[in-house]
Structure 1
Amino acid sequence: MRGRSTYKAAKAVAKAVEMHFAQHREAALLQGDEILAPLPRAGMIESVIDTAFWASLRREEGISPKISLAFLPPELAGQPLLFEKRLPLTSGMLTKLGPGVERAGIHLGVWYEKNELFVWGTTLEIQSYCFVLDVPEPGLLVIKHRRADRFGKFANVAVLKGDQIKIVDEQSSSLPQCPTLLTSLLGFTDPASWNESVNVLVQLAVSMRAHGRGGTLLVVPKNGESWRESIVRPMQYAISPAFSGLANLMRQDEGERNRSLWQRSLRREIDNIAGLTAVDGAVIISDQFELLAFGAKITRPAGAMLVEQMVATEPVVGNSAVVVNPGQHGGTRHLSAAQFVHDQRDALALVASQDGRFTIFAWSPCENTVHAHRIDTLLL
């Protein structure tokens, strides 16, 4: 294996990442799951992170590489694309390969022999709990793994940006009144914590963040009408009857949901709704995923109190809850979302900022206030 890493964050996070994978692999084995990726050791984790970090700062024809590295041998990668000669794992090599493997779902396979790491090819298929390192932009690395049921977004373990390290705090999901969306994002490793309804909200959040324009999504009760008091009327882009493309997919028999055609249709409907959040104003959907309106303007109902404070948290190790004024947490989107949830306490507001920040606003009965859960660390 190469000498000591020169990227300090790589060494600082390696042991914690090894422990994460070891604990979850052990739990999965106890549950009878035998199809698991090999356990990455701290030294190898450190080397992979170090190499990928320096590769992210290089450019090929003026473009920074966007790559995903998966730590597993080719015999465990389904039908891999194998290089005739394996390539040494170096920052220069990753930069050269970057343009050909930047599409989502393509992973460069990394393995070792006699403690020397190498790239053996590419794969579209990886096993549960496979150590994956994504490089979405220069200096930004995301350590993650596939969930046990192999569908939906990967579970994030840690995010490294320059010298900043954020390790996901899985215990945050045990907070009182924690929104089920956040609980699911934190509990990706536990299949029992996952259901299709929450999966859809997770995918909507990912798609909202991906378009990069910022936006707001309001989730309101299907059989309630009080939310209309918090929306300026008439709504310019009200939908009548409610659009049920996504809702109809979710009503299909569970046996259909494992088919690739259904999953492609689901992603198309999710992107359809998430794309509308780029329009000025909020998208409104029911908790049964019917599209009710987009471009909606949030207002404070007559006689309602102005929201003056809320609790803000981020599910990373070392973070603690703080009480802040909503205006200090973000821009007008965040302030209006906090006001909406303050007035419509059975609703949920998802807010994406143009800079990538993503926040879930939910009413917390135990704290008797709006709780802002910042989750962009989980969505990368």
Structure 2
Amino acid sequence: MNYTTEDLAEIVCKKLENAKTDYPHPSEGILRKLFADLFFASLKTEEGQLTRVTITLIDPNDPDPSPPERIVAHRWNYINFEERIPFTVKNLVKLSKAADPLSSSLAVYYENNSLFIWGMVDQAIHYQSFLNYEGDSEPEQPGLFQATIADVGNIYVMFDYELIATLKQNVLISNYIDVFRQGPVNGILKKSAELYKKQIRSYLQKEFPSEKLEEWEKYTEDSISEAISRILLVMQEYQHGGAFLITSNPKRSELSIKHALSYDRLFNTITNNIKLEAANYMYTNTIVTDYLEPEKDTIPTVHYLKENIADYEKKEASDELKGTIRFIGSLSCIDGLVVFSPDLKVKGFGAVIKVKTLPEQVFVSKTATAAPGALAPITPDHFGTRHRSMFSYCWNNKGSLGFVVSQDGDIRAITRVEDKLIMWENIKVQRFIKSEKLSRSMRFSIRK
């Protein structure tokens, strides 16, 4: 089924109908015009570069209807143009050069069924950093919603931190599959987490014996999933296409690693981050629990000093992890795979899969758990060389896990489950959070 911007407008309109917000809701007609112009702008280039821009639907007469009591220094702000600019494809393409989605968005609104651009909104970097797991704070979002041109014919719509829908050319996606939280992919990564957990357990039992281990083991699993998501996002950002493979003891007859190496910094950095997070949490908790009471006049210097040192070291480790992830992501730019051991130590890059045996069918799963009723068979020949190579390896090496990033940005996960090769499309790699302002009870389908 081929979807259009009209379908995107319909699903966004229905989502907004029950939204708890101070902003009035635009008509479906306004949304159709908005998304149609964004779609056509995505097909244009300016100075040889594709159009990429974010718009924020925000009222110039009341841009900040309910500000928080405390305004943080890095909160968004709006900047008015002296004159309103008509919302057209041409103007969108021109202004996109000054509105990198990583830094800002165009402030857009409507009047008498006409759209116009009235200014810009800054500080978008903090929003993007949070989405991509590179920031811990969850900055407040301006306006009613944001719509972004991510690529040619690729538009996605965000409400706070919830993805309402994505239109990729003629495919409409309203839900991304979270393979990292449940299902076969989660099961493989839990095994990858065992060595990490062993180190964390040893550290906690020595330094903080009263702390509950279960919570930090779950935190360890989440940290590994986030690291993989961040690597995939870096690979996607390069727009080169790439892949990485998690496998144990690869045979030379099946996998040729052109640039073999041993890079275990990701393992060390994730482990160190978790230890420092635990230390910072425990020192802070001690201060809050034992000393922030009316009858307590002072906080012992040793507790204050330990908390500050742990916090400083945690920030250093976070920067180290960011650099490590960027380094690993860049390895994917050369032709071939990046190869990981099961505990996520890099064993090489530029790897070529030699095994050629393909399954007769690949099963595309619509759920993270790969439930039998959610599997759709497709022939491997439907895909390019990079995917088929990954199909071959994962089919012949049960327990291996492959991720493929297409040049157009699609991310897929691949592994064998019993007698089926399973592939997940549209997997969730960003930090999307369901908004409390959107209703969960509604059910609807796109009219066709």
Partners of 2:327 and 2:181 lie apart in 1 by 33
Q: Displacement, 1:274? A: 1.6
Which residue does the alignment assign to 2:7? 12
Partners of 2:237 and 2:176 lie apart in 1 by 24
Amino acid at match of 1:311: F
Partners of 1:159 and 1:370 lie apart in 2 by 27
Q: Displacement, 1:79? A: 3.4
Deviations 1:293-336 (A, max 9, x none): 212233449xxx75332212468xxx97432332x132332222
Matching residue within 252, 256, 261 for 1:239: 261
Q: Displacement, 1:60? A: 4.5
Which residue does the alignment assign to 2:378? 324
Q: Do residues 166 (structure 1) and 172 (structure 2) align?
A: yes
Partners of 1:146 and 1:59 lie apart in 2 by 29
- Contact conserved, 1:110 with 1:119, CA < 8 A, in 2? yes
Matching residue within 371, 375, 378 for 2:426: 375
Partners of 1:333 and 1:293 lie apart in 2 by 17
Amino acid at match of 1:243: D
The 1:357/1:53 distance shift into structure 2, 3 A limit, reads closer
Q: Percent identity?
A: 18
Q: How does 1:176-215 map to 2 (within 5 A)?
A: 177=183, 179-180=185-186, 195-215=222-242
Q: How does 1:18-57 map to 2 (within 5 A)?
A: 18-20=13-15, 40-43=25-28, 44-57=30-43
Q: Displacement, 1:276? A: 0.9
Which residue does the alignment assign to 2:395? 342
Which residue does the alignment assign to 1:140? 154
- Contact conserved, 2:149 with 2:155, CA < 8 A, in 1? yes
Instruction: Give the secondary-structure state (helix, strand or coil) at the position aligned to 2:4.
Output: helix
Which residue does the alignment assign to 2:198? none
Matching residue within 412, 417, 434 for 1:359: 412
Q: Displacement, 1:180? A: 4.2
Partners of 1:12 and 1:342 lie apart in 2 by 37
Partners of 2:141 and 2:266 lie apart in 1 by 31
- Contact conserved, 1:361 with 1:371, CA < 8 A, in 2? yes
Matching residue within 362, 387, 396 for 1:310: 362
Q: How many residues align?
A: 328
Q: Displacement, 1:176? A: 8.4
The 1:280/1:268 distance shift into structure 2, 3 A limit, reads same
- Contact conserved, 2:180 with 2:186, CA < 8 A, in 1? no
Query: What is the root-mean-square deviation in Å for CA atoms of aligned residues?
Result: 4.2
- Contact conserved, 1:22 with 1:39, CA < 8 A, in 2? no
Which residue does the alignment assign to 2:337? 282
Which residue does the alignment assign to 2:304? none
- Contact conserved, 1:230 with 1:299, CA < 8 A, in 2? yes
The 1:68/1:236 distance shift into structure 2, 3 A limit, reads same
- Contact conserved, 1:311 with 1:371, CA < 8 A, in 2? yes
Deviations 1:125-180 (A, max 9, x none): 463696221113444322235537xxxxxx4622142xx24133458879983634
Higher RCO, 1 or 2 (CA under 8 Å, sep at least 6)?
Answer: 2
Instruction: Give the secondary-structure state (helix, strand or coil) at the position aligned to 1:85.
Output: strand
Which residue does the alignment assign to 1:248? 269
The 1:99/1:112 distance shift into structure 2, 3 A limit, reads same
Q: Displacement, 1:358? A: 3.2
- Contact conserved, 1:168 with 1:378, CA < 8 A, in 2? no
Partners of 2:166 and 2:355 lie apart in 1 by 38
Which residue does the alignment assign to 2:84? 87
The 1:279/1:56 distance shift into structure 2, 3 A limit, reads closer
- Contact conserved, 1:333 with 1:351, CA < 8 A, in 2? yes
Amino acid at match of 1:71: L
- Contact conserved, 1:244 with 1:289, CA < 8 A, in 2? no
The 1:57/1:237 distance shift into structure 2, 3 A limit, reads closer
Instruction: Give the TM-score taking structure 1 as reference length.
Output: 0.69
The 1:86/1:46 distance shift into structure 2, 3 A limit, reads farther
Instruction: Give the secondary-structure state (helix, strand or coil) at the position aligned to 2:353.
Output: coil
Q: Displacement, 1:69? A: 1.1
Deviates more, 1:82-91 or 1:337-346: 82-91
Amino acid at match of 1:215: G
Q: How does 1:91-170 map to 2 (within 5 A)?
A: 91=88, 92-102=90-100, 104-112=102-110, 117=115, 118-125=117-124, 127=140, 131-145=145-159, 147=161, 155=163, 157-161=165-169, 164-169=170-175
Partners of 1:141 and 1:231 lie apart in 2 by 39
Partners of 2:316 and 2:78 lie apart in 1 by 24
Q: Displacement, 1:283? A: 0.8
Which residue does the alignment assign to 1:151? none
- Contact conserved, 2:231 with 2:326, CA < 8 A, in 1? yes
Instruction: Give the TM-score taking structure 2 as reference length.
Output: 0.60
Amino acid at match of 1:373: W
- Contact conserved, 2:265 with 2:324, CA < 8 A, in 1? no
Instruction: Give the secondary-structure state (helix, strand or coil) at the position aligned to 2:413.
Output: strand
The 1:64/1:215 distance shift into structure 2, 3 A limit, reads closer
